[in-house]
């Protein structure tokens, strides 16, 4: 990557972190310090998954990484935007990207990729791009990582029966994702299926072990 591209990406990362710092300096109401730390680490992983997918798929690596850095920026506000958080993030990102020197086409591509990452809907007209598919794919790959699995199950760790029931129910969902094709790129699908296979194997072991918990 060109040094200027790396510099622009660093400036975008600083922009996101400055927004996080501004919110956190005002205290915690709707979100916790952990939520912001989780969100930033998730963002960094999405950037790396996005880079990997963009390189393999022949997409624009810088634009993909820029969109990945900004895809959840609205989650650093102390506001719950729900399914709108992609579109809100795109609106926050746009003036900053323009000031950074990206062309109008590049700004639109990045903002579209950010806007549609939740539910495929943007609030402005733009064709689907390979970069927009990759940002959604990279986000989904991290959302199905083992760390997220740990977070989903940690409160059940000391309630064994409830844990096993939750595992059984989650397995149905994961197997459905395994058979549906919700990913936009072949590389994203490969990474996503790898994540699903790890989670499915882990939870199947958990359920199988519970069946050994019987009277002698």
Binding site for Fe ion (CB under 5 A): 72, 139
**CA–CA dist 93, 115 (Å, integer):** 10
Nearer to Fe ion among residue 62 and residue 139 (C-beta):
139
**CA–CA dist 184, 32 (Å, integer):** 32
Shortest separation between residue 216's beta carbon and Fe ion, angstroms: 48
CB–CB of 66/9 below 8 Å? yes
* Longest Cα separation, the chain: 71
Shortest separation between residue 94's beta carbon and Fe ion, angstroms: 17
Nearer to Fe ion among residue 11 and residue 148 (C-beta):
148
Shortest separation between residue 78's beta carbon and Fe ion, angstroms: 16
Nearer to Fe ion among residue 37 and residue 209 (C-beta):
37
Token output for 6: 């790396």
CB–CB of 74/92 below 8 Å? yes
Shortest separation between residue 3's beta carbon and Fe ion, angstroms: 28
Token output for 109: 């591509």
Nearer to Fe ion among residue 44 and residue 171 (C-beta):
44
């Amino acid at each position: 990557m060109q040094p200027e591209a790396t510099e622009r990406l660093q400036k975008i990362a600083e922009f996101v972190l400055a927004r996080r710092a501004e919110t956190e300096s005002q205290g915690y109401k709707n979100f916790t310090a952990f939520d912001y730390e989780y969100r930033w680490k998730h963002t960094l992983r999405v950037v790396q998954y996005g880079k990997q997918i963009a390189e393999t798929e022949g997409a624009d690596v810088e634009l993909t990484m820029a969109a990945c850095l900004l895809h959840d920026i609205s989650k650093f506000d102390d506001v719950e935007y729900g399914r709108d958080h992609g579109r809100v993030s795109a609106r926050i990102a746009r003036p900053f990207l323009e000031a950074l020197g990206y062309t109008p086409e590049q700004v639109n591509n990045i903002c579209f990729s950010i806007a549609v990452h939740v539910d495929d809907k943007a609030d402005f007209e733009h064709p689907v791009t390979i970069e927009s598919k990759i940002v959604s794919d990279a986000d989904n790959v991290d959302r199905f990582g083992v760390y997220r699995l740990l977070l989903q199950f940690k409160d059940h760790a000391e309630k064994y029966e409830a844990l096993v029931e939750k595992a059984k129910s989650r397995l149905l969902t994961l197997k459905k994702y395994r058979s549906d094709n919700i990913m936009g790129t072949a590389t994203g699908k490969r990474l996503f299926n790898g994540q699903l296979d790890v989670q499915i194997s882990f939870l199947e072991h958990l359920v199988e072990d519970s069946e050994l918990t019987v009277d002698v």
